[in-house]
Chain A
Amino acid sequence: MPNDYLILTILVFIPLTGCLLLVPVWSRVEWARRIALGAALLDLVLACWVYAAAPAVIAGGGTLPGFFLWEDLPWIERFGIRYTLGMDGIALPMVLLTAFITVIAMLVSWRAIKERVTFHYFLILVMETGIMGVFLSLDLFLFYLFWEVMLIPMFFLIGIWGHGRRIYSAVKFFLFTLAGSLLMLLAIIGLYLIHGDQSGAYTFGLPALLHTQIASGASLWLFAAFLLAFAIKVPIFPVHTWLPDAHTDAPTAGSVILAALLLKTGAYGLIRFGYPLFPEAARTFTPLLYILGVIGIIYGSWVAFAQADMKRLVAYSSVGHMGFVVLGIAAWTPVALSGAVMQMVNHGVTTGALFALVGMLDERSGTRSIAAFGGLWGKAPVYSFFFLLFSLASLGLPGLNNFVGEFLVLAGVFRVSPIAACFAFVGVVVTLIYMLRLVQEVLFVGERTPLPLADISFREGIVLGVMGVTVIILGVYPAPFLDLVSMPVALLTGGGLP
């Protein structure tokens, strides 16, 4: 039933409400921390409740099939802008991931942030609202608005609390993002006008725009603009170079959110808007996506192999892992697309955890150079166990989460393009090589520099433990997740190839 209880609105705006509550306690850091965490936790609980109740409300429906929660209110009627939110089986996992990762990001930076603490949490909460909005918006204007809301705080996070060349990295992030957003805005307006000319009804609503008949030339340009905007976020080779810098110089919480959530918005945009709006154009671009996806996987992994800085290594590994998502989307078959969605969540959890782990080392020792460590297995066994676990997940060990996603993507892609799948597998082998190198150099061999490295604290243990359990559950019993995704994926791909 549309508009009932406005659950989605509440989901989106709980964090923003938390921001307002931060204002009165701005200088009382302990209070600010707790309020921020409370707001994030509340959002997580609500998201979990929605997941638990999903089967019961599944027939709720809006004007698009597959959506079980739907809110639609008029907003700026003069321009046909509406406030439309909707949730289906693809948005729900993303929302869960967002709520989950936000809590994690707050906990990992609990002690690391010493200056302007409240502002830090303020920005994270703003970002959560933005990301939630991106995953739930079904009106393109609203989507664009949330897209901007989510990006600006990240710029500040990197610029204020970052390390190293933080200004350079923040600016680079900003430039790429700006270029992408502007292109997307132009494309949105273009689509809006074309649709308006055709039907006489000017609207930004996705359900209506899906029926637009667009001349193939125009649709190619519009799709290209969307693709570039989303590709920057994913990131797809060769517009990925903002990512290693942004990741390396961002504070831990920033890296975690960046990797786990912001990258997903690009892929999500392609799945939700890019492909459905311009199916013909997307088909034309598919070979290019295959090529870029494969290059991303192999190239990202290979460059990761050459890194000396742990954080940069994990950052490049993101380029590789997201390449799988790109391939899964390019194939656009149920198996591959399910794999891509699963891989989005997997990458969020696994890479998020790896960034958190690297952040913990950085916090203790003040360095992220691989060559500085060694023999951690003897000194900090619990930490080392988690490091090994998430590394194994990242390299796609069966029984852990990433394997399921990668396998489905490969299986699905193999059906339509065996060559692409073969090349992607080369990336899998290289991934193994650089992850093993990381594990060996950091955990094993002898101690190289005497660093003060305490094992993990209780708070860190909770964070890593919860993420570890998630990694294992998603690997051993992904069936509920795949069930959730199966219907929207079937609707999007419209039957055809299995």
Chain B
Amino acid sequence: MFDNVWLIPLFPLIGFLINGLFGKAIKEEKVIGGIGALMVFCSFVVASMTLFKMISLPGHERVHNVTLFTWIKSGTFQADIAFLIDPLSCVMLMVVTGVGFLIHVYSIGYMHGEEGFYRFFAYLNLFTFSMLLLVMGNNLLLMFVGWEGVGLCSYLLIGYYFHKKSAGDAGKKAFVMNRVGDFGFLLGLFTLYWYMGSKHGIWTIQFTELAKHAELYPVGGVVTALTLFFFLGATGKSAQIPLYTWLPDAMEGPTPVSALIHAATMVTAGVYMIGRMNFLFIKAPETMMVVAIIGAATALFAATIGTAQNDIKRVLAYSTVSQLGYMFLAMGVGAFAAGIFHLMTHAFFKACLFLGSGAVIHSMHHALHHAHSHDDPQDMRNMGGLKSKMPMTFLTFLLATIAIAGIPGFAGFFSKDEILWQAFANPHHGTLNFALWGCGAIAAGLTAFYMFRLVFMTFFGDCRINPKCKDHLHESPMVIVFPLIVLAFLSVVGGYIGMPKIIGELLGGIPNYFEHFLAPVFEFSEEYVKSQAHATAHHSLVLEWGLMGVSVVIALVGISIAFVLYIASPSLPAKFTAAFPALHRAVYNKWYIDELYDFLFVNPCKALGNFLWKGFDVVVVDGIVDGVGKSVLGISAALKNLQSGYVHNYALSMALGVVVIIAFYLFR
């Protein structure tokens, strides 16, 4: 049925091999970039065909396993190279290949003239390949291959400007924090595998097999433990508390990388994983609660930091952390489809925002370069008034900003509002619901505030850039603008395929296509999802409309405050920071979490390493050996020639051994 799906990851792999092996010889940027983008486009075509075929099938026939070959087999353990094609992986495939293709196209323009152009496209293709393995793998271990593969590519691409120490450090930090998360992933895998095997004789790590036996999982207990392990893995990859600090630093990478890896695809892997294993998570109420709390807390916490950053990409980075928090909140309250829906809409508008910021930075960089200025091209304090210089970038950026701010009618509104409503009305977390909703709602207000702060500081007001550079600011070429337009378009209309029920009914009974499409994936959680629907329907329509209104009002308030502070009276922010210096410093310095981690983990680890080597290995263990050695050395010095002296001893010892044998033999 879906026999050709192996082509989807194969194309980017070919692209990686061509550009990686021959890119240096090809030299021609258009060919290298063309191959990179074309390969992802080919994947996109096959993925689209897969999606259409999927839609044409009835709901219960939408889950398929396609096995290529046996990868690891030992005893009862078996992991295949095999793909799982179902509605969830289809959605992910479309996001990865679709958004991925646009970003590849954009990169041709953005990376123009960079040293190691071919290397960039090779990595980008390798990333796409790994990401596709992650979403298509039909077992936990293959997913883990992709999981680590994207981590590697992230590492390589963050450190793309390898001469910069800060870039290398950021890459390293990302890789290490992800590894801490992987610890959880593998522990979860082992626990699940051995539990099902030894308890029920089901030795498998394949998703569909595991889901088939959903009724065997006990509620709580071991399932709570293993889902918490998996969730630890998710916090690493998806930058949630406590493992989120790598993502803002990851902005050291080129901007297309931030858009593709650190916004649209890789960082959503944790959300995807929970969606993939929903049948397990629903059996662990405590884990669900932890997921919801961490998600809500991260959404709020990261949003506060986002309000005080001046680096345009850092604002977006914290925004990403915060939006990922929403997705986990959705997962934690059992609104799986809504979480995946937000994953998709977020991919559209956040990719658009990152690429837009990249266009701004690109333009700033060239202008500053022209004027030999050393101002930071990413600092919003150096920008302002760019809307007339870069009209298309401005327009697309504004649309995406409206989408993320949650203004009705745009993609972000539908997905975010669905999550907030489910957080409030779900039947699982009792009184906690209100707090979850509250965190989400406040974070929504902060989001609207910092995003419009960004827009106002960048595109409105007076141009604060070095006057010498002003005339060199210009709109980007088509190859950069085109992806922006497509993504902005999707940010506007993308939400309509998954409208919340009450809006759909108001508009004449339009169903939530998206939720409907994903239903087979969550079929083993049917009861759970049903109780969810029942509970949310149980509340009055007035309440749902009311809460929707509240969140819209909160967003508008956020925008208004941004307007007052950064357009109407620009002197206010300075006064505000002067009034609360400590608070501003704390927020500006990201609540000093990095410093705390350095103090708690990084420095002690370094010190311990040095101590173990110089204090223990060399002094204690070696000291004993040297003592013995010296005494032997003394004897051998008497025997003159060092080398032959030893061989002599050696032969002697062997001879002694033989004598011992004979002695034993004779006198036993």
B650 touches A306 (CB 8 A): no
Question: In this assembly, does B2 line the interface, its C-beta being within 8 Å of a C-beta of chain A?
Answer: no
Within 8 A of B (CB), among A186-211: 186, 189, 192-193, 197, 202
Chain A residues within CB distance 8 Å of chain B? 79, 148, 152, 155-156, 159-160, 167-168, 171-172, 174-176, 178, 181-182, 185-186, 189, 192-193, 197, 202, 238, 240-242, 244, 299, 302-303, 305-307, 333-335, 338-339, 375, 377-378, 381, 392, 397-399, 404, 407-408, 410-411, 414-415, 418, 421-422, 425-426, 428-430, 432-433, 436-437, 440, 443-446, 476-479, 482-483, 485-486, 490, 498
Interface of B is mostly: helix
A444 touches B609 (CB 8 A): no
List the count of A-B residue pairs having beta carbons below 8 Å apart. 189
Contacts of A159 in B (CB 8 A): 642-643
Name the residue of chain A whose CB is nearest to the CB of B665. A79
B657 touches A444 (CB 8 A): no
Name the residue of chain B whose CB is nearest to the CB of A444. B162
B653 touches A307 (CB 8 A): no
Name the residue of chain B whose CB is nearest to the CB of A425. B183
Task: State in angstroms the CA–CA spacing of A189 and B665 once bound together.
Answer: 9
A306 touches B168 (CB 8 A): no
Chain A's nearest CB lies how many Å from the CB of B339?
A: 26
The interface centre, meaning the residue of B155, B183, B186 with most chain A CB atoms within 10 A of its CB, is: B186
Cross-interface CB contact of B654 among A148, A186, A407, A410, cutoff 8 Å = A148
Q: A167-B642, A185-B657, A307-B613 known; A397 and B176 CB under 8 Å?
A: no
Q: A404-B72, A477-B69 known; A377 and B647 CB under 8 Å?
A: no
B159 touches A399 (CB 8 A): no
Chain B's nearest CB lies how many Å from the CB of A457?
A: 18
Q: A193-B668, A335-B75, A478-B71 known; A182 and B610 CB under 8 Å?
A: no
Question: In this assembly, does B664 line the interface, its C-beta being within 8 Å of a C-beta of chain A?
Answer: yes
B179 touches A428 (CB 8 A): yes
A397 touches B69 (CB 8 A): no
B183 touches A306 (CB 8 A): no
9 residue pairs bridging A and B, Cβ less than 8 Å apart:
A152-B650, A181-B653, A418-B191, A432-B175, A443-B162, A444-B163, A446-B163, A477-B71, A498-B76
Cross-interface CB contact of A445 among B165, B175, B187, B661, cutoff 8 Å = B165
Contacts of B1 in A (CB 8 A): none
In the A-B complex, the 8 residue pairs with the closest CB atoms: A306-B609, A444-B162, A334-B75, A398-B145, A414-B190, A305-B609, A498-B76, A338-B74
B646 touches A171 (CB 8 A): yes
B610 touches A397 (CB 8 A): no
Contacts of B586 in A (CB 8 A): none
Question: In this assembly, does B180 line the interface, its C-beta being within 8 Å of a C-beta of chain A?
Answer: yes
B162 touches A377 (CB 8 A): yes
Name the residue of chain B whose CB is nearest to the CB of A385. B20
A437 touches B186 (CB 8 A): no
A182 touches B657 (CB 8 A): yes
Contacts of A306 in B (CB 8 A): 606, 609-610, 612-614
Question: In this assembly, does B77 line the interface, its C-beta being within 8 Å of a C-beta of chain A?
Answer: yes
Task: State in angstroms the CA–CA spacing of A381 and B159 once bound together.
Answer: 16
Chain B's nearest CB lies how many Å from the CB of A324?
A: 14
Q: A175-B625, A433-B176 known; A398 and B74 CB under 8 Å?
A: no
- Of the listed stretches B493-501, B534-542, B627-635, chain A binds B627-635
Contacts of B193 in A (CB 8 A): 411
Task: State in angstroms the CA–CA spacing of A482 and B76 once bound together.
Answer: 12
Cross-interface CB contact of B632 among A175, A397, A399, A486, cutoff 8 Å = A175
A425 touches B71 (CB 8 A): no
Contacts of A377 in B (CB 8 A): 162
Question: In this assembly, does B24 line the interface, its C-beta being within 8 Å of a C-beta of chain A?
Answer: yes
Q: A79-B661, A193-B668 known; A479 and B176 CB under 8 Å?
A: no
Contacts of B642 in A (CB 8 A): 159, 167, 171
Q: A404-B72, A411-B193, A498-B76 known; A172 and B176 CB under 8 Å?
A: no
Contacts of A167 in B (CB 8 A): 642
The interface centre, meaning the residue of B169, B646, B647 with most chain A CB atoms within 10 A of its CB, is: B646
Chain A's nearest CB lies how many Å from the CB of B610?
A: 5
Contacts of B203 in A (CB 8 A): 498
Within 8 A of A (CB), among B169-186: 169, 171-172, 175-176, 179-180, 183, 186
Contacts of B76 in A (CB 8 A): 335, 498
Question: In this assembly, does B617 line the interface, its C-beta being within 8 Å of a C-beta of chain A?
Answer: yes
Question: In this assembly, does B660 line the interface, its C-beta being within 8 Å of a C-beta of chain A?
Answer: yes
A399 touches B149 (CB 8 A): yes
A478 touches B72 (CB 8 A): yes
Name the residue of chain A whose CB is nearest to the CB of B70. A479
Task: State in angstroms the CA–CA spacing of A278 and B190 once bound together.
Answer: 30
